[in-house]
């Protein structure tokens, strides 16, 4: 019996740790061929080792900084995937940047630039570069991870919340533009998960007391299945 994602080509950003790493492993277990993006080569290699151990085949690793390397390298990802695989079946933009929790009036321009680059601008560039290979798939699926902070603004979270809100608007607009194609585009809010970003924001919280990345990975992976028909929706996982 074939797996749900047998030989499907999947691109995952922020794949060196946390939710991205757990999701990459889950997608691989479901049969997908992975293309993984993250800043650290070492982190990507660790995830690749896990994928090889679980499935017997490795991933394509792309060590990219979504802020510093975007214009020169991220724009080439889509054409490169198209040249190698002929299509892209799955895009998951998981990478995110929190930076500092600070009053809106005290946001540093450099911090603002980083958070917007990773959470919002990278989403635009990924859509721009991956739209053609996703349309070449018979069942393209795109999932962008978002945050409950968009719906529930909170003091000191303005920079992160604004970036994610902008990303949500961009993604839902794109979803309308591709509604007549086989491509399905959705937002996914994983809820509270024990990630490094969560630990930065909530340093006094016991990470063992909240869901782990592996706990939400199966539900996120299911959004990438050809059988998934929802489109343009904001789906809460946790």
Four-residue CA torsion sign, 176, 178, 182, 187 = negative
Q: Is 156 a known active-site residue?
A: no
pLDDT at 196: 87
Q: Which residues contact 68 (CB under 8 A, 6 or more apart)?
A: none
Q: What are the CA-CA distances from residue 182 to residues 89, 139, 189 (Å)?
A: 11, 5, 23
Mean pLDDT across the chain = 95
Average pLDDT over residues 14-22: 96
Going by C-alpha positions, the residue among 177, 167, 163 that lies closest to residue 131 is 177
Going by C-alpha positions, the residue among 174, 189, 81 that lies closest to residue 136 is 81
The lowest-confidence range among 76-80, 103-107, 137-141, 200-204 is 200-204
- Decide: 18 and 36 in contact? Cβ < 8 Å: no
pLDDT above 80 for 229: yes
- Decide: 166 and 208 in contact? Cβ < 8 Å: no
In the set 160, 185, 190, 220, the catalytic residue is 160
Q: Which residues contact 72 (CB under 8 A, 6 or more apart)?
A: none
pLDDT tens, residue by residue, 19-69: 999 999 999 999 999 999 999 999 999 999 999 999 999 999 999 999 887
Angle between helices 122-135 and 77-85 in degrees, nearest 10: 20
pLDDT above 70 for 185: yes
Single pTM value for the model: 0.95
Q: How confident is the model at residue 195 (pLDDT cuts 50, 70, 90)?
A: confident
Q: How confident is the model at residue 1 (pLDDT cuts 50, 70, 90)?
A: low
> Phi, psi (5° rounding) for residue 37?
-120, 135
Burial-class residue 99 by CB neighbours within 10 Å (0-12, 13-18, 19+): buried
- Decide: 28 and 5 in contact? Cβ < 8 Å: no
Alpha carbon 219 to chain centroid distance?
Answer: 14
Higher pLDDT among residues 208 and 225, named by residue = 225
- Decide: 93 and 117 in contact? Cβ < 8 Å: no
CA angle in degrees (0–180, nearest 5) for 231-128-134: 50
pLDDT above 70 for 187: yes
What is the residue whose two structure tokens read 């994602």? 5
Percent of the chain with pLDDT strictly greater than 70: 99
pLDDT above 80 for 215: yes
Helix spans in the chain (H): 18-29, 41-55, 70-73, 77-85, 109-116, 122-135, 158-177, 196-201, 213-222
pLDDT at 200: 87
Domains and CATH numbers, the chain: 9-236 (3.40.50.720)
Average pLDDT over residues 124-129: 96
pLDDT at 202: 83
> Phi, psi (5° rounding) for residue 170?
-60, -45
What is the residue whose two structure tokens read 């070449």? 136
pLDDT at 199: 86
């Amino acid at each position: 019996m074939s797996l749900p994602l047998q030989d499907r080509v999947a691109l995952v950003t922020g794949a060196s740790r946390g939710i991205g790493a757990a999701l990459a492993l889950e997608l691989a277990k479901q049969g997908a061929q992975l293309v993984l993006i993250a800043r650290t080569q070492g982190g990507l290699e660790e995830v690749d080792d896990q994928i090889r151990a679980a499935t017997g085949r490795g991933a394509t690793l792309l060590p990219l900084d979504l802020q510093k390397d975007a214009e020169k390298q991220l724009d080439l990802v889509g054409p490169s995937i198209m040249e190698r695989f002929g299509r892209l079946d799955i895009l998951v933009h998981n990478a995110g940047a929190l930076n500092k929790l600070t009053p809106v009036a005290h946001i540093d321009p450099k911090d603002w630039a980083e958070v917007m680059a990773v959470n919002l601008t990278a989403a635009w560039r990924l859509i721009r570069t991956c739209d053609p290979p996703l349309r070449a798939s018979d069942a393209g699926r795109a999932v962008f991870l978002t945050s409950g902070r968009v719906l529930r603004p909170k003091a000191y979270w303005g920079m992160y919340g604004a970036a994610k809100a902008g990303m949500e608007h961009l993604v839902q607009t794109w979803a309308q533009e591709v509604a007549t194609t086989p491509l399905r585009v959705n937002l996914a809010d994983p809820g509270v998960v024990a990630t490094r970003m969560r630990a930065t924001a909530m340093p006094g919280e016991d990470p063992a007391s909240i869901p782990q990345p592996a706990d939400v990975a199966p539900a996120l992976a299911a959004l990438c299945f050809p059988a998934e028909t929802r489109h343009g929706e904001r789906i809460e996982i946790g």
